[in-house]
């Protein structure tokens, strides 16, 4: 029979775990140092107020320091996409919906429930995706259509005047046009509120990369991000 692999003693696994945690702590310290340098040069956050109770932004805006979000009155963050780290989950409610930025994505199915959730929330709602251009813009357009009783084209002109970078993909625009007769009258079609993902989502390479980008490029909420990182990598 083939030789059996040697059994590693328990203390070897423990030492390996200690080395891993030490490496993660080194990463966290480096993140804090770099972000503190970047934040001194970049004090603006990717957040655009498009209504009395609505903000649109990128993920970099969603991880802005908590005082910034509190000054804006944010009480709910709606994340449209995948692998977003909810760094402020101890203070702000989150609803994470896995939506692709693709023309064939059926965003219209999610809109009624999301709009009900947003309109029932006290305080300001921050809607974000990766760049704040397509998915979050489409949801913001639907909100503006219902809240202001305006057509999709008018809502897009208004939103673009405030946030010129918005570019909802063609599929999202077609779906909004199909819903225009009801949304522009302030009527929401039937639909359940989408289930909100747990804030204890597993750490992935993609989520860590997105968080690092937001912290390094924008200079963001380092301390809560580090706390989340330590929580996500802690032994069960």
Q: What is the pTM of this model?
A: 0.71
Q: What is the mean pLDDT of residues 183-201?
A: 73
Instruction: Look at residue 59 in the predicted model and tell me its pLDDT.
Output: 87
Instruction: Look at residue 47 in the predicted model and tell me its pLDDT.
Output: 94
Q: Is residue 214 part of a domain?
A: yes
Q: Is residue 229 part of a domain?
A: yes
Count of CB atoms situated within 10 Å of the CB of 181? 10
d(CA 37, CA 214): 14
d(CA 75, CA 124): 6
Query: What confidence category does residue 175 fall into, taking pLDDT thresholds of 50, 70 and 90?
Result: very high
Q: Is residue 220 part of a domain?
A: yes
Instruction: Look at residue 2 in the predicted model and tell me its pLDDT.
Output: 52
Q: Is residue 86 part of a domain?
A: yes
Q: What is the pLDDT of residues 23-47, one digit of tens each?
A: 655 665 555 544 444 443 334 688 9
Residue numbers of the domain that contains 118: 22-28+45-132+192-236
Instruction: Look at residue 35 in the predicted model and tell me its pLDDT.
Output: 46
Q: What is the pLDDT of residues 101-137, one digit of tens each?
A: 999 999 999 999 999 999 988 999 999 999 999 999 9
Q: Is residue 168 part of a domain?
A: no
Instruction: Report, as residue numbers or ranges, the catalytic residues.
Output: 129
Angle at alpha carbon of residue 37, lines to 35 and 38, rounded to 5°: 65
Instruction: Look at residue 114 in the predicted model and tell me its pLDDT.
Output: 94
Q: Is residue 6 part of a domain?
A: no
Instruction: Look at residue 191 in the predicted model and tell me its pLDDT.
Output: 76
Residue given tokens 């924008």 in the structure block: 218
Question: Strand pairing partners for 124?
Answer: 74
Instruction: Look at residue 154 in the predicted model and tell me its pLDDT.
Output: 96
* DSSP track, 103-156: TT--HHHHHHHHHHHHHT-SSEEEEE-SSSSSHHHHHHHHHHHHHHT--HHHHH
| pLDDT of 221 over the 60 cut | no
Which of residues 170 and 2 earns the better pLDDT score?
A: 170
Q: What is the CATH number of the domain that holds 122?
A: 3.90.190.10
Q: What is the mean pLDDT of residues 189-211?
A: 64
Instruction: Look at residue 85 in the predicted model and tell me its pLDDT.
Output: 75
Instruction: Look at residue 18 in the predicted model and tell me its pLDDT.
Output: 60
| pLDDT of 228 over the 60 cut | no
Count of CB atoms situated within 10 Å of the CB of 52? 8
Q: Is residue 180 part of a domain?
A: no
* DSSP track, 5-60: PPPPPHHHHHHHHHHHHHHHHHHHHHHHHHHHHHHHH----SEEEEETTEEEE-HH
Count of CB atoms situated within 10 Å of the CB of 223? 13
Q: What is the pLDDT of residues 57-110, one digit of tens each?
A: 998 888 888 888 999 999 999 999 987 877 777 778 889 888 999 999 999 999
Residue environment code for 14-49, b if the CB has 16+ CB neighbours within 10 A, otherwise e: eeeeeeeeeebeeebeebeeebeeebeeeeebbbbb
| Burial of 190 from C-beta contacts in 10 A (0-12 / 13-18 / 19+) | exposed
Instruction: Look at residue 24 in the predicted model and tell me its pLDDT.
Output: 59
Q: Is residue 225 part of a domain?
A: yes
| pLDDT of 216 over the 70 cut | no
SS3 state at 170: helix
Instruction: Look at residue 192 in the predicted model and tell me its pLDDT.
Output: 77
């Amino acid at each position: 029979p083939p030789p059996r692999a040697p059994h590693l003693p328990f203390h070897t696994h423990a030492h390996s775990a200690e080395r891993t945690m030490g490496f993660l702590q080194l990463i966290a310290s480096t993140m804090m140092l770099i972000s503190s340098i970047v934040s001194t040069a970049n004090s603006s956050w990717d957040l655009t107020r498009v209504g009395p109770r609505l903000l649109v932004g990128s993920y970099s805006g969603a991880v802005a320091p908590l005082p910034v979000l509190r000054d804006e009155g944010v009480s709910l963050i709606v994340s449209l996409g995948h692998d977003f780290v909810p760094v402020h989950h101890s203070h702000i409610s989150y609803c994470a919906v896995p939506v692709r930025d693709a023309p064939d994505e059926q965003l219209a199915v999610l809109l009624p429930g999301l709009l009900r959730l947003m309109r029932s929330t006290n305080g300001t709602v921050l809607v974000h995706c990766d760049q704040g251009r397509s998915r979050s813009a489409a949801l913001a357009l639907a909100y503006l259509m219902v809240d202001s009783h305006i057509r999709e084209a008018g809502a897009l002109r208004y939103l673009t005047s405030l946030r010129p970078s918005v570019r909802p993909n063609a599929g999202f625009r077609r779906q909004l046009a199909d819903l225009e007769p009801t949304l522009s009258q302030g009527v929401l079609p039937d639909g359940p509120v989408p289930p909100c993902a747990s804030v204890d989502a597993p750490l992935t390479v993609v989520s860590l990369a997105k968080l690092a980008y937001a912290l390094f490029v924008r200079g963001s909420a380092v301390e809560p991000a580090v706390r989340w990182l330590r929580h996500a990598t802690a032994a069960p």
